[in-house]
Structure 1
Amino acid sequence: MQTRATVDVSMVVANFNNGRYLEDFFHSILNSTSQPREVIFVDDGSTDNSLIIAQRASDALDHVKIIALSKNVGFANALNIGIANCSSTYIMRMDPDDVLLPERIERQYEYITRDALDVVGSNAVIFHDSTNLPIGRTNFPARHADIETTILRGEHGVLHPTVLGRASFFKNVPYIQENVPAEDYDIFARFLKAGARFGNVAEPLIHYRIHDKSASSRLRYATIARTFRLRDTIFGGYTSRWKIVSYYCFIKSYRNYLGSRSVVSKSLWGALSSLCYPQKLVRKIATRTVYRPGR
């Protein structure tokens, strides 16, 4: 393997039964232009072949450290275990069913150290596992002020699996298992309240996989409601039920819009999304991707 620069980054991965995706995941690390100091792979009691594949990867990548839990403790708890075992100044989040683009580590490390930020995310190409074709891309704000405004609205200012952040924040403001699957909004809202400075790389740096078992495909009203309740608790204020319902309808409709393969259904879901949240839909449609996942 070609020698590549190693940067002061610990990548933390929590895995549960993602064996079918792990070869792609580890291959994308192998192909990165910069390497993390360590990859902390926490297997959360998987019952598939995840550990076999991870062990094979650790033979090729000697900085992969496997923590095999004897039972499933939950996503947030598994992440906290991984974070507790990190030794770097910065922690990079990644989900094992996604794929890094080659320059992700290099670009984000350069960005966060150059601008003295605390959290740096990026955009992502969204693709569906069944077709391996792109169905969209994210459009997160780049500047701290805009990210702050987004989080204060009760929306996501950064995409969780794209984040690189200071280890001190992750260790002092841990994940809360009871807030899963809204743990990502919760932790970055608490980072913001603790004084973290945010940024996002404008271009996509990961390929974000949608499949039947992904959180994106199984979005529930309760997750959106919990997110807004967390916002109200952390920052004060009150979110009406109508706001929660309308935002949930927008998210569900937009994801159906992305997944639709016919012009008719795409138009119908797009129209419904527009009724629920017209300003955001316009921004999202304006950034529809022309990329193809480089697998």
Structure 2
Amino acid sequence: MNTVQQSPTQTKPTVDVSMVVANFNNGRYLDEFFRSILCSTVLPREIIFVDDGSTDDSLVIAQRAAEDVKCMKIIALPKNVGFANALNAGVANSVASYVMRMDPDDILLPTRIERQYDYITRHGLDVVGGNALIFHSSTGASIGSTNFPSDHSDIEKTIVKGENGVLHATVMGRTAFFRSEPYKQENVPAEDYDIFARFLKRGASFGNFTEPLIRYRIHDTSASARLRYSTILRTYQLRDSIFGGHTPRWKVRTYYWFIKCYRNYLDSRSVVSKYVWAGLSALCYPQKLVRKIARHVAYRPGR
């Protein structure tokens, strides 16, 4: 590891990672986001902050944060070009061996960079993701956690059947893959499934941390809060195109309603409504619901 000047009074080690952040009008979350980076046990070689034509105070906040986050490069796009295109701009300007994804409305956990970099280099993997603690933006209350498979064979099975095998906002992967298989704007908001399915098709090896790496924010404008049937449909269409086969519409609808019911289960404040939504979710995908609830209980605050 090298060292980078973080502030006039403090230095931290760095690792060979380019953190790529695409931002559009997330100004209200950026101070907390940048504080989480400063609390990290190690820093990336560089942070590439791509502002995708924001109309709020995002650029002002990022420029102010850059006084403390010395490794940050700011790319200010003159107009909004879209999430995938903004990420590609960040990757194109990266210089490290690995690209690390992070969304500016989430919070980095202190050991994420250090542990993930050690894991991906020690095991010789191409892509490593992890889990996330999910919380409500308005209340700060924890509402659950993700439960992604940990080893390559299970991740492969998950992706091939049309589901996300890694959580996009937690991924660290070889820069060479991100350059050879860039994001496709036309596939947003299913761009995450698309790019990692193409990585897999090209022979990438995957892994996931069992432990959470970020705090994942749910708010009114987040992609998670605005899930549409068209997104699930597009995901399965990509699956069929990349891996072959045909996914029947009933399966698409079933998986869509499983996710909708499960998110209502997480959002519910009363025990009765939780049981109702859990029951409806179980009707759609019983095995997956059991795994998700078990994960939720395992990471419940106070345990």
- Tell whether 2:300 aligns with 1:290: yes
Report how far residue 218 of structure 1 moved. 0.1
- The equivalent position to 2:181 in structure 1, one of 158, 173, 180, is 173
Deviations 1:20-59 (A, max 9, x none): 0000111111110010000000000000000010001111
Q: Distance in 2 between matches of 1:37 and 1:153?
A: 36
Report how far residue 3 of structure 1 moved. 2.0
> Where do 1:74-153 residues align within 5 Å?
74-153=82-161
Task: Could you tell me which runs of 5 or more consecutive residues in structure 2 were left unpaired when the two chains were aligned.
Answer: 1-6
Q: Distance in 2 between matches of 1:80 and 1:163?
A: 15
> What does residue 51 of structure 1 align with?
59
Q: Distance in 1 between matches of 2:21 and 2:295?
A: 29
Report how far residue 267 of structure 1 moved. 1.1
Report how far residue 83 of structure 1 moved. 0.4
- Tell whether 2:235 aligns with 1:227: yes
Does the Cα contact within 8 Å between 1:121 and 1:163 map onto a contact in 2?
yes
Q: After alignment, is 180-189 or 59-68 more displaced? A: 59-68
Residue correspondences, number: 292
Letter in 1 for 2:16: D
> What does residue 215 of structure 2 align with?
207
Deviations 1:164-218 (A, max 9, x none): 0000000110000000000000000000001100000110010000000000000
- The equivalent position to 1:159 in structure 2, one of 160, 167, 177, is 167
Task: Could you tell me which runs of 5 or more consecutive residues in structure 1 were left unpaired when the two chains were aligned.
Answer: none
Q: Distance in 1 between matches of 2:76 and 2:183?
A: 19
Q: Distance in 2 between matches of 1:80 and 1:218?
A: 23
Q: Distance in 1 between matches of 2:12 and 2:209?
A: 22
- The equivalent position to 2:34 in structure 1, one of 26, 34, 44, is 26
Does the Cα contact within 8 Å between 1:125 and 1:291 map onto a contact in 2?
no
Report how far residue 136 of structure 1 moved. 0.3
Letter in 2 for 1:14: A
Q: Distance in 2 between matches of 1:265 and 1:251?
A: 16
- Tell whether 2:194 aligns with 1:194: no
Moved over 6 A (4+): none
Report how far residue 61 of structure 1 moved. 1.0
Q: Secondary structure at the match of 1:188?
A: helix
> What does residue 25 of structure 2 align with?
17
Does the Cα contact within 8 Å between 1:174 and 1:187 map onto a contact in 2?
yes
RMSD: 0.8
Letter in 1 for 2:222: S
Does the Cα contact within 8 Å between 1:144 and 1:197 map onto a contact in 2?
yes
Q: Secondary structure at the match of 1:287?
A: helix
- Tell whether 2:70 aligns with 1:62: yes
Q: Secondary structure at the match of 1:124?
A: strand
Report how far residue 4 of structure 1 moved. 1.7
Q: Distance in 2 between matches of 1:291 and 1:264?
A: 21
Q: Secondary structure at the match of 2:295?
A: coil
Letter in 1 for 2:178: F
Report how far residue 263 of structure 1 moved. 1.2
> What does residue 244 of structure 2 align with?
236
Report how far residue 62 of structure 1 moved. 1.2
Report how far residue 287 of structure 1 moved. 1.0
> What does residue 262 of structure 2 align with?
254
Q: Distance in 2 between matches of 1:176 and 1:287?
A: 32
Report how far residue 291 of structure 1 moved. 3.3
TM-score (norm 2): 0.95
Q: Secondary structure at the match of 1:286?
A: helix
Deviations 1:66-108 (A, max 9, x none): 0001100000000000000000000000000000000000000
